[in-house]
Structure 1
Amino acid sequence: MIDLVLPCLDEAAALPGVLERVPAGVRPIVVDNGSADGSAELAARLGASVVSCAQRGYGAACHAGLSAATAEYVAFCDCDGSLDPADVPRLAAPIIEGRYDLVLGARRTTTLSAWPVHARVANRVLAHRVRSLTGVRIRDLGPLRVARREDLLELGQRDRRSGYPLETVLLAARAGWRIDSVDVHYAPRTGRSKVTGTVRGTLQAVKDMSAVMAR
């Protein structure tokens, strides 16, 4: 069994499509981060486990989901329909087989509009900085990732904003984890992005991640 953490803020339009693509052997945990569109209630009706996270922030929602997870392996995925939960077993396989400790989904766009240029460039720059700092050759700091639950809990992530995925990678590299990237399809999200869909959101994400690197 794999627990799939789905941070959620007003994603009622995307939730049905996301949850119907969750494969057998994967339990969806929707972490509601203050939705006003009925996302939490909809997720519960669709059969997902629902966790409420009062502290706003992507990292806060991720960590609340990690804390609520009980499976040996935990995956994280955006809840906006841009990524396919069906990819989770494929990312988890190298960890279950003992070849890697953390596997990241490297996004490959299905259309040019799926990933705005400003967000793509920012991600590429950050990935390069991570390689320079750690020697780990990652291609993406994307939101789809898998690792063992106990290992993740021991990392001690402190960031509760957009820097959470980056902090996970940096702490994992420091701990000597074996890290790999696997290509995954990245489609246009359902609805409007709250982070990388806007220049302002991307700049805030870069600010959060720069703060993580500075620490």
Structure 2
Amino acid sequence: MIPLTADVVLPCLDEADALPWVLSRIPPGWRAVVVDNGSSDGSAAVAAELGATVVCEPRRGFGAACHAGLLACTAEFVCFCDCDASLDPALLPAFVRQLGDGDADLVLGRRRPAARRAFPPHARAGNAALVRMLHRRTGVRLRDLGPLRAGRREALLGLGLTDRRSGYPLEMVVRGADAGWRITERDVPYRPRTGTSKVTGTWRGTWHAVRDMRAVLAAPARPLPYEAATR
């Protein structure tokens, strides 16, 4: 069996302390694409020294960083992973195998907390509310909207994603569901992050993320720019 390879997009804002562990977990032969989103702690330099491809995205926003990374990718398969050491990119080959075998069009990691403080109550509550709203909007039943995920580059570009804030991961799922994609989940351990969270670490951050995602769910379905389904 020929091993599948992928590019891994790592949106990054002040993650210099976490980067060494995260980049050490990138599967052999894969490319790490670290998207620096305005870090002030030298994250870009750390990533470059450790061999990652570094993309600078001056416009702040999780979606802006993710999309800049997607545009910089060249591999057939593209994965996304947080850059805070809460999720292990070494688990991604199993995600890509599902894509390569034709068993799924988008594979998401369902976060299973490895410690109580890894997934605080307000973040869990926000996530639970969103997956219920997602089911009502699309009919897709998921248990998590986690950021560890994998898809095909051309198909992801074909979704025409426009959100550049916290709604980007949800918009990917919604647009994929509208295109008839097979969306599956795999359980993954979720560890306490290194450093301070910019989103789910506070009630305010979680509220802003939920607000952005609710706006995505409220938007009417629209035609894809071109055929994005891979089936």
TM class, shorter-length: over 0.9
Distance in 2, matches of 1:190 and 1:170, equals 30
Q: Indicate the SS of the match to 2:34.
A: strand
Q: Partner of 1:122 in structure 2?
A: 126
Q: Partner of 2:203 in structure 1?
A: 199
Match of 2:194 among 157, 176, 190: 190
Equivalent runs, 1:151-170 vs 2, <5 Å: 151-170=155-174
- Contact 2:35-2:54 within 8 A present in 1 as well: yes
Structure 1 segments, 4+ long, off by >3 Å, are: none
Match of 1:20 among 16, 21, 24: 24
Consecutive unaligned residues in structure 1, runs of 5 or more:
none
How far off its partner does 1:25 sit? 3.0
- Contact 2:36-2:56 within 8 A present in 1 as well: yes
Q: Partner of 1:70 in structure 2?
A: 74
Q: Partner of 1:178 in structure 2?
A: 182
Match of 1:58 among 56, 59, 62: 62
Q: How many pairs were matched up?
A: 215
How far off its partner does 1:10 sit? 0.3
Consecutive unaligned residues in structure 2, runs of 5 or more:
220-231
Distance in 2, matches of 1:177 and 1:6, equals 24
Out of 5-14 and 132-141, give the one that drifted further. Answer: 132-141
- Contact 2:133-2:217 within 8 A present in 1 as well: no
- TM-score normalised by structure 1 residue count: 0.99
Match of 1:147 among 147, 151, 176: 151
Amino acid at match of 1:146: A
- Contact 2:35-2:65 within 8 A present in 1 as well: yes
Q: Indicate the SS of the match to 1:31.
A: strand
